[in-house]
Structure 1
Amino acid sequence: MNTKGNLFTTFKKMKTLPLTSRQLEDYLLVVGGVTTIYLVIGVRDVLYEPFRSLLSVSNTQLGILLSVSGFVQIFGYLLFGWLLDSANVRKLFTIDLIGYASTGIFLACFHGLPFPVLVGAFILFGFFGDAIYWPVVQKAIKYLGGQHNQGKAFSIMGLFRSLGGTVVTAIDVFIFSLFTSALFGIKVAMIFNGTITILFAILIWFRMPDDFMADGRSDKEKKKKASLTSLVKVMKIPIVWTTGIASACIYVTSIGITTYYLPFLQHNYHVSASVVGAIGVVNGLAGMMIGPLSGIISDKYFKSSASWMSLSYAVLMFFLAGIIIMPKGNEYMYLGVAGLFLSTIGLIMVKAVYYAPLGEFGIDHNISATAMSLSSFLGYSPSFFAYPLIGKLLDSYPTQKAYHILFVCMLITSGIGLVINLYNSSVIKKIRQKNKV
């Protein structure tokens, strides 16, 4: 796996983005913030069972907690999105990073907290980590990437997120393996991750300019712009809806693969928690290779992220079908691991550019955060209902049957995403012909 060569190629491609040295630093600060903020509970992706044990919850209860976070997240997009078009990005990023990390460290310091307390913590995760944070991140990347480099800007962000997340995850697994107590190991790993997030918040506070993305408008003009009129305008743009629905389709698959595939290996192929964590780290490295390539291929060869995603969805469906029919059991462990790697490749091919159609369509910068908020509301809506449904599925059915149903559902939603992106591709082509861009 040529990580060095891939990184060199990525840095070379970054030079083709229309960025000044100041904008490049801003871009890296935005990407770094996105990479670090989700680390503190992102540890569940590779240490799912220890994380669940720390909280002392069942699969269903953990699903409910994640859905609470998702509820705040998706409805926060609608409630706050139009206000975020006039937000101070530097202050917002700093507050969100510190708030999210502090909540995670609090959870790590205590074991077996009452369920209502856990609900409160996950409400804060939804508020700090998504509702008032993610739409501004998307707007910042859209602003820095320009109309013709959306795939590249988003996919390079995906690379750095994967790189940073993989490095920290590897350290987490190492920390976890140092302790004979799984409970103490997961606590130390989460506190370590939260500390990294707070340190990056301090870096953003001192390095990001206070007027990032400022456009010279007066405060009066900003307040006038930040109104519900923006939401009404955005709701009349079809591609905002179709991009959001297609993103929801891939998000269902993302939840299934990133959160539940490693437990699937544990229960269906009898792999230990430490080995599963190591496999998750290697899988993260594999995904890191795919992200930037996806954006580059999208921009250079397909000229439309929607066209590229249509093909990517087809590849993903092929891999998911293979997972459904492959045999289970300890003697077939390598098949299960191969299924993880291949499905992750298909997943990241889509996720690297799944919101890029909004930038390619050329939505007015004045309402772009609002557009991102509405599209994100739709795109991340599975975080509200998918986790408790999957948790209930795992608790209610025999293991193999439960996972079979889960992967069939992912196959269906991927098919819907494919059809929608074929439509988006035709819409983008028409608008470019009309505007001659």
Structure 2
Amino acid sequence: MLTKKRWAIFSLLTLCGGTIYKLPSLKDAFYIPMQEYFHLTNGQIGNAMSVNSMVATIGFFFSIYFADKLPKKYTMSFSLTATGLLGLYLSTMPGYWSILLVWALFGVTCDMLNWPVLLKSVSTLGDNTQQGRLFGFFETGRGLVDTIIAFGALGVFTYFGSTMAGFRAGILFYSIVVIVVGIGIFLLMNDEERVRDENKVKDNTSGISSVLKNKLVWLIALNIFCVYSVYCGLTFFIPFLSKVYALPVALVGAYGIINQYCLKMVGGPIGGIIADKVLKSPSRYLCYSFIVSTLVLVLLIVLPHEQMPVYLGMACTLSFGAVVFTQRAVFFAPIGEAKIKEEHIGSAMAMGSFIGYAPAMFCFSLYGNLLDKYSGLLGYQVVFGIMACFAFAGSIISIMLVREIRQRSTMAAIEEPHPVF
């Protein structure tokens, strides 16, 4: 599919995407050490994630104006290095307010400066017929790099005795890796000239007002909102297994890596195949998977967790996580199914991202504070109940989306002129 040179660039971009979010996602492998050595509550960890998401959401809008103007190599290299330097500061074990500031700055270095430029760099490696494969390989590659680097940090943590020294060493490991990748991109990546198409820029600007009036785009964006609201809850399966099932700290870290990274590699391709090959409709797949998610969450609420074997609890939560990751793999796909005009797809994606990722601004904080308010199993049952409500709302929105797409397809078929013989 790609030349050797472009495969080399693709590998660098995959390393970038798979390493830069390790520090902002420190909770995935080190949730319990963060609580113990940073002296944070569930709510405070959720607050840090929410602050990060608020800055990132605002940053995505600003990036619209400069993502095409800044040189890719220097922008990505700077963002990676700056993220690593923030990680070095984290290793000094700062206080809560400093941690909030660092996570806010992660929203600038990882999201505003890096993510849009990274996606554009991946896209420009191939033509229009290669985009699906490019991003499919990219997501799988990111999951692989995520898993390797995260298990490496967990190994460092364990080597130093699973203590504060091990936690600091794990943070330093993440920081050094991301700085090395930043230097590698600076030295090895060619920043070729980009030709800007002014007509497409104008079409994209006018497309913003067009998609705001499009009911399908709103339904798709709200669908993504519901998926991401449920996805945010996966983070709290980590303390759930630790507190309710008494899972050891190192094993909790391994579970967090599997829950957030390994499932990405497995769930993504499965969701895409079922949506495209079996149901032949991503919106229908989202509808069915939302119904399954709702039922599973209700089951998690009523199960006698305190009497269940630990591995059964892990299996239940990981199975549910796999369903959510299949949804994440296809939640933008209905934009193509809805046959939105090609010149408006960029605006539709932007709106879907802005509304769809909005739960990250409040869900982490909401779930975390609820766990602090309601101790023990009750707190997790409350969180699971809210997640079930979001999943149920998603199933209703998906039904509306499927009907709207079907109606528009029927109307288009009726209005299409037929040849006269």
TM-score by length of 2: 0.84
Structure 1 residues 79 and 145: CA distance shift in structure 2, 3 A:
same
Residue 385 of structure 2 aligns to a residue whose secondary structure is helix
- In the TM superposition, residue 398 of structure 1 has moved relative to its aligned partner by 1.9
Q: How does 1:242-257 map to 2 (within 5 A)?
A: 242-257=219-234
Give the conservation status (yes or no) of the 8 Å contact 2:80–2:179.
Answer: yes
Structure 1 residues 302 and 229: CA distance shift in structure 2, 3 A:
same
Query: Which of the residues 258, 268, 273 maps onto 1:296?
Result: 273
Give the conservation status (yes or no) of the 8 Å contact 1:148–1:360.
Answer: no
Mapped to 2, the partners of 1:373 and 1:264 lie a distance apart of: 34
**Bigger shift: 308-317 or 59-68?**
308-317
Give the conservation status (yes or no) of the 8 Å contact 2:204–2:347.
Answer: no
Structure 1 residues 228 and 217: CA distance shift in structure 2, 3 A:
closer
Partner residue of 1:77?
A: 60
Mapped to 2, the partners of 1:79 and 1:242 lie a distance apart of: 25
Structure 1 residues 115 and 51: CA distance shift in structure 2, 3 A:
closer
**Bigger shift: 128-137 or 410-419?**
128-137
Partner residue of 1:131?
A: 112
The residue type equivalent to 1:38 in the other structure is: Y
Mapped to 1, the partners of 2:221 and 2:19 lie a distance apart of: 25
Partner residue of 2:180?
A: 199
**Bigger shift: 236-245 or 183-192?**
236-245
Give the conservation status (yes or no) of the 8 Å contact 2:204–2:343.
Answer: no
Mapped to 2, the partners of 1:256 and 1:318 lie a distance apart of: 16
- In the TM superposition, residue 50 of structure 1 has moved relative to its aligned partner by 0.3
Query: Which of the residues 249, 257, 260 maps onto 2:236?
Result: 260
Structure 2 unpaired stretches of 5+? 417-421
Partner residue of 1:276?
A: 252
Pairwise CA RMSD of aligned residues?
3.3
Q: How many residues align?
A: 412
- In the TM superposition, residue 32 of structure 1 has moved relative to its aligned partner by 3.0
Give the conservation status (yes or no) of the 8 Å contact 2:220–2:401.
Answer: yes
Mapped to 1, the partners of 2:13 and 2:25 lie a distance apart of: 18
Give the conservation status (yes or no) of the 8 Å contact 2:220–2:334.
Answer: yes
Structure 1 residues 418 and 194: CA distance shift in structure 2, 3 A:
farther
Mapped to 1, the partners of 2:285 and 2:158 lie a distance apart of: 40
Query: Which of the residues 41, 51, 68 maps onto 1:58?
Result: 41
Residue 309 of structure 2 aligns to a residue whose secondary structure is helix
Mapped to 1, the partners of 2:409 and 2:127 lie a distance apart of: 16
Query: Which of the residues 349, 355, 359 maps onto 2:326?
Result: 349
The residue type equivalent to 1:272 in the other structure is: P
Query: Which of the residues 177, 180, 183 maps onto 2:158?
Result: 177
Mapped to 2, the partners of 1:31 and 1:362 lie a distance apart of: 30
The residue type equivalent to 2:293 in the other structure is: L
The residue type equivalent to 1:267 in the other structure is: K
1:30 aligns with 2:7: no
The residue type equivalent to 1:341 in the other structure is: L
Mapped to 1, the partners of 2:409 and 2:10 lie a distance apart of: 28
- In the TM superposition, residue 233 of structure 1 has moved relative to its aligned partner by 4.2
Partner residue of 1:158?
A: 139
Q: Deviations over 1:54-109 (max 9, x none)?
A: 3322222222222111111122223433543555433332232222222122212x
Q: Deviations over 1:255-275 (max 9, x none)?
A: 211x21011001111112112
Structure 1 residues 392 and 245: CA distance shift in structure 2, 3 A:
same
Residue 41 of structure 1 aligns to a residue whose secondary structure is coil
Mapped to 1, the partners of 2:343 and 2:68 lie a distance apart of: 7
1:97 aligns with 2:80: yes
Mapped to 2, the partners of 1:432 and 1:205 lie a distance apart of: 52
Q: Which has the higher contact order (CA 8 A, sep 6+)?
A: 1
- In the TM superposition, residue 396 of structure 1 has moved relative to its aligned partner by 0.9
**Bigger shift: 122-131 or 278-287?**
278-287
Structure 1 unpaired stretches of 5+? 1-14
Structure 1 residues 422 and 55: CA distance shift in structure 2, 3 A:
same
Greater Rg, structure 1 or structure 2? 2
Give the conservation status (yes or no) of the 8 Å contact 2:43–2:369.
Answer: yes
Residue 389 of structure 2 aligns to a residue whose secondary structure is helix
Residue 48 of structure 1 aligns to a residue whose secondary structure is helix
**Bigger shift: 190-199 or 151-160?**
151-160
Give the conservation status (yes or no) of the 8 Å contact 2:204–2:344.
Answer: no
Mapped to 2, the partners of 1:244 and 1:360 lie a distance apart of: 14
Query: Which of the residues 305, 328, 351 maps onto 2:282?
Result: 305
TM-score by length of 1: 0.82
Partner residue of 2:419?
A: none
- In the TM superposition, residue 337 of structure 1 has moved relative to its aligned partner by 0.8
Mapped to 1, the partners of 2:129 and 2:148 lie a distance apart of: 31
Mapped to 2, the partners of 1:143 and 1:239 lie a distance apart of: 28
Q: Deviations over 1:375-409 (max 9, x none)?
A: 21111111111122112111111221110011111
Structure 1 residues 243 and 305: CA distance shift in structure 2, 3 A:
same
Mapped to 1, the partners of 2:155 and 2:376 lie a distance apart of: 29
Partner residue of 1:416?
A: 393
Q: Deviations over 1:287-315 (max 9, x none)?
A: 52232232233333444432332233333
Give the conservation status (yes or no) of the 8 Å contact 1:310–1:422.
Answer: yes
Give the conservation status (yes or no) of the 8 Å contact 1:294–1:353.
Answer: yes
- In the TM superposition, residue 286 of structure 1 has moved relative to its aligned partner by 4.9
Partner residue of 1:217?
A: 196
Give the conservation status (yes or no) of the 8 Å contact 1:81–1:373.
Answer: no
Give the conservation status (yes or no) of the 8 Å contact 1:265–1:336.
Answer: yes
Q: Deviations over 1:103-155 (max 9, x none)?
A: 122212x11x2433222211111112223433444555666687777665544
Q: Percent identity?
A: 27
- In the TM superposition, residue 343 of structure 1 has moved relative to its aligned partner by 0.9
Structure 1 residues 33 and 363: CA distance shift in structure 2, 3 A:
farther
